[in-house]
Amino acid sequence: MSERQAGGDEGLAGNGADNRGASHPDNLGTHLGTHPGTHPGENRGAHLESHSRGGREGISRRRFWQTAVAGSAAGGATAAWLMGPGRRAEANGNEAGEQGATGTGRIGKGVRDPLLETTNPVIAKGRDAGLEVLKPTAAQLEQGLEIHRRALVFDFYGFAPRAALDADRLLAAAEAGASEAEWQDLVEEESMTRAVRDAAERAELAEALLCSGVTAIFQNAGEEGQDPLRLMKRLARFTWLTDNLPELLGRATQPAHLRTAREQNRACLYLTGNGVPLPQQWVSVEEELGYVRLFHQLGIRMMHVTYNRRNMLGDGCAEVANGGLSDLGRRAIAEMNAVGVIVDVAHSGLRTSLEAARASQRPMVASHTTCAAVNPHIRAKSDEVLKAIAETGGVVGLAWIAPFLGGTGDLAALLDHIDYAIKTVGIDHVAVGSDVSHTSQHAAAAQRKLPARPRGRVRYEALWPEGALGGVWPRAASLAWTNWPLLTVGLVQRGYSEEAIRKVLGENAVRVCEANWKHS
The per-residue pLDDT string of the chain (520 residues; one tens digit each, 9 = 90 and over) reads 433 333 333 333 333 332 222 222 223 323 343 332 333 233 323 222 233 333 334 444 344 333 333 333 333 333 333 323 334 333 233 332 232 222 222 334 457 899 989 999 999 999 999 999 999 999 999 999 999 999 999 999 999 999 999 999 999 999 999 999 999 999 999 999 999 999 999 999 999 999 999 999 999 988 888 999 999 999 999 999 999 999 999 999 999 999 999 999 999 999 999 899 999 999 999 999 999 999 999 999 999 999 999 999 999 999 999 999 999 999 999 999 999 999 999 999 999 999 999 999 999 999 999 999 999 999 999 999 999 999 999 999 999 999 999 999 999 999 999 999 999 999 999 999 999 999 999 999 999 999 988 888 888 878 898 889 999 999 999 999 999 999 999 999 999 999 999 999 999 999 999 999 986 5
> Residue 3 and residue 22: Cα distance in Å, rounded?
32
pLDDT of residue 271: 97
pLDDT of residue 393: 98
φ, ψ for residue 326 (rounded to 5)? Answer: -85, 170
Instruction: State the pTM of this model.
Output: 0.83
Looking at the 3D structure of the chain, how many domains does it have? 1
In a domain, 376, yes or no: yes
In a domain, 172, yes or no: yes
pLDDT of residue 355: 98
In a domain, 39, yes or no: no
In a domain, 56, yes or no: no
pLDDT of residue 384: 98
In terms of C-beta density within 10 A (0-12 exposed, 13-18 middle, 19 or more buried), how is residue 290 classed?
A: middle
Task: State the residue range of the domain holding 320.
Answer: 61-453+481-516
pLDDT of residue 15: 30
In a domain, 10, yes or no: no
> Residue 402 and residue 133: Cα distance in Å, rounded?
14
Specify the long-range contacts of residues 355-358, CB closer than 8 Å, at least 24 apart: 355/314, 355/324, 355/325, 355/329, 355/330, 356/305, 356/314, 356/325, 356/329, 357/385, 357/388, 357/389, 357/391, 357/392, 357/394, 358/388
Cβ–Cβ < 8 Å for 220, 159: yes
> Residue 318 and residue 465: Cα distance in Å, rounded?
7
In a domain, 392, yes or no: yes
Torsion of CA 367, 271, 360, 418, to 10 degrees: -20
> Residue 383 and residue 424: Cα distance in Å, rounded?
7
CATH number of the domain at 493, please.
3.20.20.140
